[in-house]
Structure 1
Amino acid sequence: MEKRKLKKPEAIIFDMDGTLFKTETLLIPVYHRVFDQLRAEGLYSGETPPEEIILSCLGMLLDQIWKKVLPNHDEIVHRRADELLLQLEHEGLKEYVTELYPKVEDTLAQLRERGVRLFVASNGLELYVKDVAETHEIISFFEGVYSAGEHKTSTKVDLVKLLLNNHGVNNAWMVGDRSSDVEAGKQNGQSVIGCAYAGFGADTELVGADALISSFDELIQLYDEAIS
């Protein structure tokens, strides 16, 4: 665990994919089904793009994702891919064995016991983000679950700003695995904890974070050692 001296937060805001949820346990099988359906509908031909491309897009808005995964296809194909992804992820959470990262539930419980207010801020769609939290029975830990899909925000900076304002939070930690999480925390004047265990992004993703953790439960030690 790499860290600077941190101030104890009143609230912690979590990204979902690559932070709480081991996204590839759902995304990889769904990704292949999306392209099977696009081919069946005549909207796509050829091999499915490499899995590494979609995994590298985690943390982006859907519009940005399809521009990277399907750069040579138009908005009609992109929007149909949106629909299929949401539908198949919803079905897949019931069909597949999906996973949170180790010790997520126990760590959230311990933070709540310490009086920390917990939130989620994700660039995903509302149904998907809440589905994951409900399926894995962690939604009750959170005072608010915010998604770009629900609040129509164009950046995570704006989403986190909205969350902070709506809940009167002044001192928070933003916890996530992508540069968008670092940006969202820092541009809103908050500390950032970078999750270095997911491995989806480049080495530079978490530059600027105040601390890096290699497992989720290290948050407890960080919190307990932070300055009141």
Structure 2
Amino acid sequence: MKAIIFDMDGNLFQTGKILEQSLEEAFAVLRERGEWQGAAPIDEYRNIMGVPLPAVWEALLPGKSEETKREMDAYFLERLIVNISEGKGELYPDVKGVLAELVAEGYRVFIASNGLVRYLAAIVEYYGLNEWVTETFSIEQASTSDKGELVRIIKEKYGVTEGAVVGDRLSDIRAAKANDLFAVGCRFDFAQEQELKEADAVIDNLADLREVLKRSQVKG
């Protein structure tokens, strides 16, 4: 069975559209308590975008209590979901067209993300992605925070024998290689050139994906 496994943030969904607002709303809570001064650390978050949320709060709130980190984690998730449901986010150009073409060409499409289950479900539901996506997998479903394990779960559940992982971060690229899949790097909002060097191919927009797949060993 041939499959294309997509990361969500920074690949299908333009997380940056709601990132700043949601993070500001979360840090406003800390400012009201006198536990934070100034703007929310947007740039710091962009630099680590794609890691599991608990790791985000370790980086953004060093020195804060575990209780505070858990609280901010939960509140930020709620704000993301609200902003998605209010239509403040956006898919990248060509997402639905590319997914439809892949399915028409015989691929099964999956999402494997470090995002949490409720967050991913909000995006999938709002944009109707289940029309093309067979199943969405969250890192919550894996026994570790290793994206490679999540991809392995998909391969075993569906009997995937060949295909590609499409993502913008090193964790996506290495997840592909760990599972003997083709690694397609996305040079989008959160990508880092040093990490993309490990990909088998790099695209600047999703419309280029079909041509890359045709040129590679991944056949539809």
Provide TM-score, normalisation by structure 2.
0.93
Match of 1:216 in 2: 206
In the alignment, what sits opposite 1:104? 95
1:39 aligns with 2:31: yes
2:113 to 101, 122, 126: 122
Q: Could you list the runs of 4 or more consecutive aligned residues of structure 1 that deviate by over 3 angstroms after TM superposition? A: 150-153, 224-228
CA contact (8 A) 1:26 1:96 kept: no
Specify the alignment match of 1:64 in structure 2.
Answer: 55
Structure 1 residue 37 displacement after superposition: 1.9
Deviation at residue 44 of structure 1 after TM alignment: 2.5
1:31 & 1:148 partners in 2: Cα distance? 21
Which amino acid letter does the alignment assign opposite residue 203 of structure 2?
I
Distance across 2 between alignment mates of 1:35 and 1:192: 36
Matched, 1:19 2:11: yes
CA contact (8 A) 1:125 1:150 kept: no
Q: Normalising to structure 1: TM-score of the pair?
A: 0.90
Deviations 1:53-83 (A, max 9, x none): 1112211011211111112212111100111
Alpha-carbon distance in 2 for matches of 1:37, 1:49: 11
Count of aligned residue pairs for this structure pair = 218
Partner of 1:171: 162
Partners of 1:131 and 1:36 lie apart in 2 by 23
Listed as ranges, the gaps of 5+ residues in structure 2 are none
Runs (5+) with no aligned partner, structure 1 = 1-8
CA contact (8 A) 1:121 1:160 kept: yes
Q: Is the 8 A contact 1:185 1:192 kept in 2?
A: yes
1:90 aligns with 2:93: no
**Counterpart position of 1:194:** 185
RMSD: 1.6
Q: Per-residue deviation at 1:162?
A: 1.1
Structure 2 vs 1, CA of residues 43 and 184 (structure 1 numbering), >3 Å: closer, same or farther? farther
> Which deviations, in whole Å up to 9, do the C-alpha atoms of 1:86-142 show, x marking residues without a partner?
111111112342111111111111111101100000001000011112112212211
Partner Cα separation in structure 1 for residue 12 and residue 35 of structure 2 = 32
> For the residues of structure 1 that align with 2:192 and 2:209, how far apart are their CA atoms?
22
Alpha-carbon separation, structure 2, partners of 1:119 and 1:43: 43
> Offset at 1:36?
0.7
Cα distance, 1:224 vs structure 2 = 3.3
Amino acid at match of 1:215: N
Maintained 8 Å contact 2:3/2:107: yes
1:23-60 deviation line (CA, Å, top 9, x unaligned) = 011111101000112333x3722123431111122110
